[in-house]
Structure 1
Amino acid sequence: MLMLRIIGGKYKGRLLEAPTGKSTRPTTNRVREALFSIIDSKYKLVGARVLDACAGSGALGLEAISRGADHSTFFDINKNALEIIKKNIINLNEELSTDIYQADITNPPKPKNGVPCSFVFLDAPYQSKIPIEGLNAISKSGWLHQSSIVIIETKKDTNFPWPNIFREIELRIYSSTKLHFIEYIG
């Protein structure tokens, strides 16, 4: 069994279970720490609503809650991953501040109560077109508001032509991983 650790906030040091096998690839602790350091220094996470798409273990959404986000929604298509996310949520006693959907970001449900998210974490399988298709789908289905930030994890050598309703505002490289910070400009 693979275990991850919450990096910061009220649950710092708490362990999270992660799915094993090749169907998921958890964001490394180093990249997650760097990602949240950027968010903490440049954006307002406290009180935010977050979408963790292609969630795997739910580590990104749960890290956001640990650091002050009010609510995290989790999408994954893998039933095993969804069970692990649910277990991690229960272990942190965060059932009231989370929603879980067996959903594909390229065909998402509408947001609960029609409330969009300020941050979206998209850590899709590396060799897929899911980031582009997912960006278009979540923008059309109400998950984003003007200036929502989407953080997309890709391989270092991956580049996408972002849809014209988004603009890349920051790019960071960590070893073989690239983080794209994309702003929704609708």
Structure 2
Amino acid sequence: MRIISGEFKGRRITAPKQLPVRPTTDMAKEALFNILNNKYYFDEISVLDLFSGTGNISYEFASRGTQNILAVDSDFGCVKFINQTSESFEMPIRTVKSDVFSFLEKSKQKHDIIFADPPYDFEIDQFAKIPTLVFQNNLLENEGLLIVEHSKHTDLSELENYSHSKSYGGNMFSFFQQTQ
């Protein structure tokens, strides 16, 4: 995987093979950040990266100037890899080793963007828990955005606060916002 823009543009990051991850493709990541670039000043936002895996999305935000990034994953190897990588690049990424659902139930901190990349084989009720907990616990700032990455075979359009989806190859991003 590589960082596609910002201070660390072009830097390649090689994750250990044994990590239980499926990194977001460069094509999908580039398309996502083109959308976000038109909506946010990256140096002014707070980002929560759920099911962060290799930290791929967190590195992209850090490379673009985001200073407040929290990456959450339940796998010790993933958290260790993110810590090592962010330290070597001197990126401001904090990590928490936790089950994402437990973390969301207890969290009180608000974020401008919450990105979730759960396992593609989640059942729809598992996917539904993510926006439910985010909005129930008021974890987004005003104008904040929850983005859930999933397979094109999963339809999240019936979930509460769903806004729209974008498809890139086999990847989809579903966007959720607080409804007025």
Q: TM-score, normalised by structure 1?
A: 0.85
Partners of 2:15 and 2:137 in 1: how far apart?
Answer: 29
SS at match of 1:73: strand
Letter in 2 for 1:12: K
Query: Which residue of 2 is the match for residue 182 of structure 1?
Result: 176
Q: Which amino acid aligns with 1:137?
A: L
TM-score (norm 2): 0.87
Contact 1:19 1:56 in 2 (8 A): no
Tell me the equivalent position of 1:62: 59
Equivalent of residue 172 in structure 1, options 141, 155, 166: 166
**Aligned equivalent of 1:108, options 103, 108, 124:** 103
Structure 1 alignment gaps of length 5 or more: none
Q: What is the aligned residue count?
A: 176
Name which of 146, 153, 156 aligns with 1:157.
153
Q: Which runs of 5+ in 2 are unaligned?
A: none
Write the distance in 1 (CA, Å) between the matches of 2:19 and 2:109: 33
Q: Which residue of 2 aligns with 1:23?
A: 20
SS at the partner of 1:184? coil
Instruction: State whether residues 146 and 185 of structure 1, in contact with CA within 8 Å, keep that contact through their aligned partners in structure 2.
Output: no
Aligned CA-pair RMSD: 2.0
The answer to whether the 8 A contact 2:131-2:176 is kept is no
**Cα distance in 2 for residues equivalent to 1:30 and 1:38:** 13
Q: 1:134 to 1:105 in 2, by over 3 A?
A: farther
> How far off is 1:62 after superposition?
1.5
For 1:153, the aligned partner's letter is E
Q: Deviations over 1:99-141 (max 9, x none)?
A: 2111122111655xx5411001111001114332122223344
In 2, Cα distance between the equivalents of 1:33 and 1:13? 12
1:122 maps to amino acid: A
Structure 2 distance, partners of 1:79, 1:72, is 18
Aligned partner letter, 1:138: V
Give, in angstroms, the shift of residue 56 of structure 1: 0.5
Going by fraction, where is strand more abundant, 1 or 2? Answer: 1
CA drift of 1:11 comes to 1.1
Contact 1:118 1:148 in 2 (8 A): yes
Structure 1 Cα separation of the partners of residues 133 and 17 of structure 2: 28
Shift in alpha-carbon separation, 1:88–1:141, aligned structure 2, 3 A = farther
Give yes or no for the alignment of 1:10 onto 2:7: yes
Question: C-alpha deviations, 1:43-99, integer Å up to 9, x for none?
Answer: 3333100011000111101201111222110000011111111111111112xx322
